[in-house]
Chains A and B, each alone.
Chain A
Amino acid sequence: MKALLEVRDLRVSFGATEVLDGIDFDVYEGEVLAIVGESGSGKSVTALSMMRLLGESAEITSGSLRFSGRDLLELSEDEMRKVRGREIAMIFQEPMSSLNPVYTAGFQVAEVLEEHFGYSRKAALEKARELFEMVGIPAPEERLRSYPHELSGGMRQRVMIAMAMASEPKLLVADEPTTALDVTIQAQILALMKDVRSRFGTSVLFITHDMGVVASIADRMLVMYAGQIVEEGSVESLFESPRHPYTQRLLACAPSIGERKERLSVIEGFAPSPDAYPGGCRFHPRCSEAIERCSAEPPRLVRGVRCWVAEDS
């Protein structure tokens, strides 16, 4: 399979605090890659790095993001802007606050087409209507003129998806797009994303902490802990035989799909904060299988797992 995006040794710091410690992964063409992990493990920072939208307080200190043949980190701000929303689109967790309250839903979708493809307002709104239809918004003609506060959470997320798909991007980055939604709506949005993905062949980087969601949508998954990838592999193999004790625990505690969980708080102990990551393996203080070596020497990601114990077995 061909890689659409190759992330190598990505490091991100907020001031003196390093929150991403050398992330490596590929996103293949047409696949859905899930990133899972507890709150604070660096999922959103990873996602925003792909868009170079981390904000001024963050610095990408090293690494490369090869995307269709060029390194996104080397692009000028203006070149990067043309990638955003056109080749890589992003949808967010909070469908309420992610839409501008003073503009209509139709306008906010039309904007993408005007900006990147020079559509006239009229043509852009017509295309927006088609997109609304595609994402299953009832009465699309009228919803074009609706303001965000007049729409339900599920409808708003559909608008966000329409906005993201307007330019038929090669990569869709979705940061917990269903977390804020009711269970039934969650399932509908997941179904829609699967539909959209197969229709356009878009690759999806799907961030979630819900294993049920991973099982339902993803082809492969990355497990993140404390700013590192601790395990990666196909969803099938990881669900079948997780090797890292952290992954094992995540899966053991996973609620079945639909069951609502705000945050993964099911593993004893607290996720460490980035300014005080433990030495050795960052998971060892919470790990029931830790051996002496785990506290002394940081393990590397070897054949898809970052664990001394799993590596040996």
Chain B
Amino acid sequence: MHHVSLRAATLRAVWRFAFRRVFGIVLVLFVAVVLTFGALQYVPGDPILILLGDQSGDVELEARLRAEYGLDRPLTEQFVSYLGGVLRGDFGLSFRFASTPVKDVLATGLAISPVLALVALVLSVPLGIGLGTFAARRKGTLADSLTMFVLVLGISIPNFALASFLVYLFAVRVPLLPVAGWGTPAQAVLPLVLLIVPAMVYIGRLTRTYLLEVLQEDYIRTARAKGLREHLVIYRHALRNTLVPLSTSIGIIFGGLLSGTFVVETIFNIPGLGSLAIQSVFARDYPVVMAVVLLYTLFYSLINLGVDLLYGVLDPRIRLSS
């Protein structure tokens, strides 16, 4: 009886939590829509005139385009219809590609950038944790110092410098890997390396720090006093506890990887969301820019939610309280 009610209370808490979080994300997205829509009103240049180009004298065509893009209606009406569209996943029409829905313009990039970031994350997390654990277990030895040296080096080298070096190396010296384009697995290697190195290095350093801290805990002494083999002490008891603080950092890193794709896509000429966004800014294709901003807002909100859920899974102490 007692436990049934406890179960129900837990379930209620979970629902309350879920509701609060989803509501929060919706609110953030709404604010993002308001801000991007508002900003659009202040950008220079009339997109329809740009769209018309040398046909700018054609009044009839101009009127037709304005109607098609809904720009002839009052601002509030435009906003409401934009908001309604966003809710249905419809971001209006592109300015750059006349009469093409933004949705279709985004499709290619949407299949590239988040996947690129996700693959980089999935690879850099275990690599970083492995490196950090390796160093922490050998604290004070040459192996530790060397690992730390490499990690510090990895952090100190600016991303663009590493990129230039890699491009130079593979384009000029040893043309083993393609340095531009998208479509084959080989073309994904250098972009991924560029994304993975800083993320891995960051996670490696954090892992080492957290692990050394956790190894001082009383429960590690208990684990040793039980006579557990060293690998169980390290992996089962110590590393498992570093995952709790690490999960926050992993969320931040995922966010960093997502924005990192902007740089990498530009360098390697990959038709992802990042290069699309940059091209769209220069082409004054504001509906596309707005859509990318909203998408990234959604991504970041989802990452945050994911981290909080992960936290609950990893740490039994906050399963209920939050």
* B window 199-256: CB within 8 A of A: 217-219, 221-230, 232, 237, 240-241, 244
Q: Which residue in chain A gives the minimum CB-CB distance to B241?
A: A102
Verify A102–B228 contact, CB threshold 8 A: no
A97 within 8 A of B: yes
Kindly list the 6 A-B residue pairs having the minimum CB-CB distance in the complex, ordered from nearest: A85-B227, A84-B227, A85-B226, A97-B218, A100-B219, A147-B316
Chain B residues with Cβ under 8 A from A163's Cβ?
222, 226
Using A81-B227, A115-B227 as known contacts, say yes or no to A101 and B316 having CB atoms under 8 A apart: yes
A35 within 8 A of B: no
Chain A residues with Cβ under 8 A from B88's Cβ?
none
Using A98-B219, A101-B241, A115-B232 as known contacts, say yes or no to A53 and B314 having CB atoms under 8 A apart: no
Q: Which of A86-94, A265-273, A283-291 contacts B (4 or more CB under 8 A)?
A: A86-94
Verify B225–A81 contact, CB threshold 8 A: no
CB distance from A88 to the nearest CB of B (A): 9
Verify A92–B316 contact, CB threshold 8 A: no
Partner of A115 from B219, B221, B229, B241 at Cβ < 8 Å? B229
Partner of B219 from A53, A99, A147 at Cβ < 8 Å? A99
CB distance from B5 to the nearest CB of A (A): 15
CB distance from A262 to the nearest CB of B (A): 18
B317 within 8 A of A: yes
Q: How far is it, in angstroms, between the C-alpha of A54 and the C-alpha of B240 when the chains are bound?
A: 23
Using A102-B314, A147-B317 as known contacts, say yes or no to A116 and B219 having CB atoms under 8 A apart: no
A51 within 8 A of B: yes
* B window 1-47: CB within 8 A of A: 3
B315 within 8 A of A: yes
* A window 110-139: CB within 8 A of B: 111-112, 115-116
Q: How far is it, in angstroms, between the C-alpha of A155 and the C-alpha of B3 when the chains are bound?
A: 20
Chain B residues with Cβ under 8 A from A99's Cβ?
219, 222
Render A63-92 as a binary contact track against B, CB cut-off 8 A, 1 for contact: 000000000000000000111111001101
CB distance from B320 to the nearest CB of A (A): 9
Q: Which of B221, B222, B240 has the most CB of A within 10 A?
A: B222
CB distance from B224 to the nearest CB of A (A): 6
Q: Which residue in chain A gives the minimum CB-CB distance to B244?
A: A102
Q: Which residue in chain A gives the minimum CB-CB distance to B318?
A: A149
| Extra 5 A-B pairs, beta carbons < 8 Å, given A98-B218, A100-B241 | A97-B217, A98-B219, A100-B223, A102-B314, A116-B227
The residues of A with any CB-CB pair to B shorter than 8 Å are 51, 53, 81-86, 89-90, 92, 94, 97-102, 111-112, 115-116, 142, 147, 149, 160, 163
- State the main secondary structure of chain B at its contact with A: helix
Using A101-B316, A101-B317, A102-B244 as known contacts, say yes or no to A53 and B221 having CB atoms under 8 A apart: yes
Verify A97–B227 contact, CB threshold 8 A: no
Q: Which residue in chain B gives the minimum CB-CB distance to A77?
A: B230
- A-B contact list, 16 entries, CB within 8 Å: A51-B224, A53-B224, A81-B228, A84-B226, A85-B225, A85-B228, A97-B219, A98-B218, A100-B219, A100-B222, A100-B223, A102-B240, A102-B314, A111-B228, A115-B229, A147-B317
Using A101-B315, A102-B315 as known contacts, say yes or no to A92 and B221 having CB atoms under 8 A apart: yes
Chain A residues with Cβ under 8 A from B227's Cβ?
81-86, 112, 115-116
Q: Which of A51, A82, A149, A160 has the most CB of B within 10 A?
A: A149
Chain B residues with Cβ under 8 A from A97's Cβ?
217-219
Chain A residues with Cβ under 8 A from B230's Cβ?
81
Q: Which residue in chain A gives the minimum CB-CB distance to B219?
A: A100
* B window 291-322: CB within 8 A of A: 314-317
Chain A residues with Cβ under 8 A from B317's Cβ?
101, 147, 149
Using A97-B217, A98-B218 as known contacts, say yes or no to A112 and B226 having CB atoms under 8 A apart: yes
Chain B residues with Cβ under 8 A from A111's Cβ?
226, 228, 232
Q: How far is it, in angstroms, between the C-alpha of A147 and the C-alpha of B316 when the chains are bound?
A: 7
Q: Which residue in chain A gives the minimum CB-CB distance to B214?
A: A100
Using A84-B226, A85-B227, A100-B241 as known contacts, say yes or no to A94 and B315 having CB atoms under 8 A apart: no
Using A102-B316, A149-B317 as known contacts, say yes or no to A51 and B222 having CB atoms under 8 A apart: no
